[in-house]
Structure 1
Amino acid sequence: MIVPDISQNAVAVADHYDELDPIYRSVWGEHVHHGLWTTGRETPAEAVEALVDTVGDRLHLEPDDACVDIGCGYGSTARRLVATRKVRVTGFTLSAGQADYAAAHADPHVDVRLRNWLVNGLAEGSADAAWSIESSEHMVDKPGFFAEAHRVLSPGGRLVVCVWLADANAGGWQVRHLLEPICREGRLPSMGTREEYEAMAVAAGFEVTDYEDVSSRVARTWTICARRLGRALLVDRDTRRLALRARNRIFGLSMLRLILAYRTGAMHYGIFTLSKPGEGPARSGAGDQS
């Protein structure tokens, strides 16, 4: 597990996203996660929606499923899956700015709550499916993240986790100059490996039904973000002022580290599909990839 030299907590995560909220939306849009390219010809907007659709496929979502979006950001993933799969979603975010944006773009089938997932307050066995897209990295208690997901899901329920992962064999220079600073600058209390994530999931009671490394299909996200941020700094005074004065301004440098981390193999992007053992509703679909 990669741990930054300055400890991070939920308050720091919320501050990061609240302060940089205008930059995140202007540089990348309302989906605060990587894009997934299949043909390479997709626009960035199509690529971010492709990642959401992949999550929906792997969950085998059915109409009226009760779903949980762990780390829901602006609620965009939830709104898309409500529109395309006819599900109901409860989302959790630490960011007041993100919760306010979600409220301003409300959907009657999406309930976004400003609350820490680790103390979510949901009833045991109350959800059919759950997902976490690049939010588990921000959890101080990662075993607790999995334990809460297992508790909230009904028997037979599924969890998809899209996550930044450290390479198990990352060299010393990669840890010192790429992975540890990425954690510090991006407010990640830690970054795990594939093996560590699988061990935590199994310890919580999940079965790992699938894992796919899609690093090569998502990595261009950061090249696009860096280019857009550079352009915004040149032409937009408000972006320039925020980037220069913000407490979290160092994250701009992390974009370059992320590009190098993918290119050198120090970091990976993985998609886990997990299931809670037990009898659940029959589901059909081709979401699993073996």
Structure 2
Amino acid sequence: MIVPDISQDAVAVADHYDELDPVYRRLWGDHVHHGLWTTGRETAGEAVEALVDAVADRLELMPGQACVDIGCGYGSTVRRLAAGRGVRVTGFTLSHEQARYAAARHVPEVDIQVRDWLDNGLADSSAEAAWSIESSEHMVDKSRFFAEANRVLSPGGRFVVCAWLAEAGAAGWKVRHLLEPICREGRLPSMGTREEYEAMAAAAGFTVTGYEDVSRRVARTWMICAGRVVKAFLLDPETRRLGLGARNGIFVLSIPRLILAYRSGAMRYGIFTLSKVAENGRN
């Protein structure tokens, strides 16, 4: 597990997204996660929605199901799946700014809560499906992250996790110059490997039914972001002011690190499909 040399917690994560809220939306839009390219001809907007659809397909969502979005951001994923798949969704975010934005775009069957997933207050076995798109990285206690998902899901429920992952046995220079700074600058309390995630999921009571490394299909996200940041800083004084004057503006430094981390193999992007063991012992 990669751990930053300056500890991060839920307060730091909330502050990061609250302060950088206008920058994120100006540079990337309503989805705060990678895009997923298949043909390479997709726009960035199409690619981010493709990742959402890939998650939904792995969950095998059915109309009327009760679902949980752990780290729902601006609510774009829950709105897309509530409208397109007919599910009911409770979303969790630490950011008041993200929740405020989501509330202004409310759709039926969606409830957005500003609350830490590690203290979510949901009843046991109250959901049939759950997903986490790039939020597990921000969890202080990743074992508890999986344990809470298992508790909240009903027997046989599915859980899909899209995660930034560290290369197993990463060389010292990759840790020092790429992975540790990415954690520190991005307010990630830790970054795990595929093997560590699978071990924590199994310990929580999940069976790993699928895993896909889509690093090559998501990596161009950061080249697009880099181009947009340069353009915005040159041409948009407001974005330049927001970015350079922010306490969390140091995250801009992580963009070139992320590009190199993917190219060097120091960082991977994985999609886990998990299933809670059913009462009869089957998944």
CA distance in 1, matches of 2:74, 2:197: 26
For 2:169 and 2:11, how far apart are their aligned partners in 1? 31
The residue aligned with 2:107 is 107
Write the deviation string for residues 63-107 of structure 1: whole angstroms up to 9, x where unpaired. Answer: 000000000000000000111100000000000000000001111
Query: In structure 1, the residue corresponding to 2:4 is in which secondary structure?
Result: coil
Aligned residues, how many? Answer: 281
Matched with 2:265 is: 265
Matches within 5 A, 1:239-258: 239-258=239-258
Once the two structures are TM-superposed, the CA of residue 256 in structure 1 deviates from its matched residue by 0.6
Give the equivalent residue in structure 2 for 1:149.
149
Once superposed, which parts of structure 1, at least 4 consecutive aligned residues long, lie more than 3 Å away?
none
Deviation, 1:108, is 1.6
2:225 corresponds to which letter in structure 1?
Answer: C
Deviations 1:189-247 (A, max 9, x none): 00000000000000000000000000000000000011111111111111111111100
Question: What is the alpha-carbon distance in structure 1 between the residues aligned to residue 22 and residue 240 of structure 2?
Answer: 11
TM-score by length of 1: 0.96
Alignment of 1:81-92 (within 5 A): 81-92=81-92
Query: Which residue pairs with 1:277 in the alignment?
Result: 277
Q: CA deviation at 1:145?
A: 0.2
User: Any idea what SS the aligned residue of 2:223 has?
Assistant: helix
Partner of 2:249, secondary structure, is coil
User: Does residue 1:8 correspond to 2:28, yes or no?
Assistant: no
Matches within 5 A, 1:94-133: 94-133=94-133
3-state SS, counterpart of residue 2 of structure 1: coil
**One-letter amino acid of the structure 1 residue matched with residue 32 of structure 2:** V
Give % identity.
Answer: 77
Q: Identify the residue that residue 223 of structure 2 maps to in structure 1.
A: 223
Please give the alpha-carbon distance, in whole angstroms, between the structure 1 residues aligned to 2:102 and 2:78.
10
Output the CA distance in 1 between the equivalents of 2:117 and 2:107.
Answer: 21
Task: Measure how far apart 1:169 and its partner are.
Answer: 2.2
CA–CA separation in structure 1 for the residues paired with 2:110 and 2:230: 34
Structure 2 residue aligned with 1:288:
none
In structure 2, the partner of 1:195 is 195
CA–CA separation in structure 2 for the residues paired with 1:263 and 1:58: 27
The residue that corresponds to 2:75 in the other structure is: 75
Specify every segment of 5 or more residues in structure 1 that has no aligned partner in the other structure, as ranges.
284-290
> In structure 1, how many angstroms separate the alpha carbons of the residues matched to 2:243 and 2:111?
32
Tell me how far apart the structure 1 counterparts of residues 60 and 155 of structure 2 sit (CA, whole Å): 15
- State the AA in 2 paired with 1:129: A
Shift in CA distance, 86/147, structure 1 to aligned 2, threshold 3 Å:
same
Which consecutive residues of structure 2, in runs of 5 or more, have no partner in the other structure? none
In the alignment, the residues of structure 2 paired with residue 20 and residue 145 of structure 1 have an alpha-carbon distance, to the nearest angstrom, of 25
Q: Does 1:25 align with 2:25?
A: yes
Aligned match of 2:177:
177
Counterpart of 1:2 in structure 2: which amino acid? I
TM-score in terms of structure 2 length: 0.98
Report the equivalent of 2:55: 55
**CA distance in structure 1 between the aligned counterparts of 2:193 and 2:131, rounded to whole angstroms:** 19
Distance in 2, matches of 1:219 and 1:128, equals 31
CA distance in 1, matches of 2:245, 2:47: 31
- Once residues 242 and 85 of structure 1 are traced to their aligned partners in structure 2, the CA distance between those partners, rounded to angstroms, is 37
- Equivalent position amino acid for 1:102 in 2: A
Q: Which amino acid aligns with 1:248?
A: N
Instruction: Name the Cα RMSD after superposition.
Output: 1.0
| AA aligned opposite 1:273 | T
SS of corresponding position for 1:159: strand
In structure 1, what residue type is equivalent to 2:226? Answer: A
Instruction: Measure, in 2, the Cα distance between the counterparts of 1:32 and 1:243.
Output: 17
Partners of 1:109 and 1:26 in 2: CA distance: 28
Superposition deviation, residue 279 in structure 1:
5.1
* Aligned equivalents of 2:221, 2:31: Cα separation in 1: 12
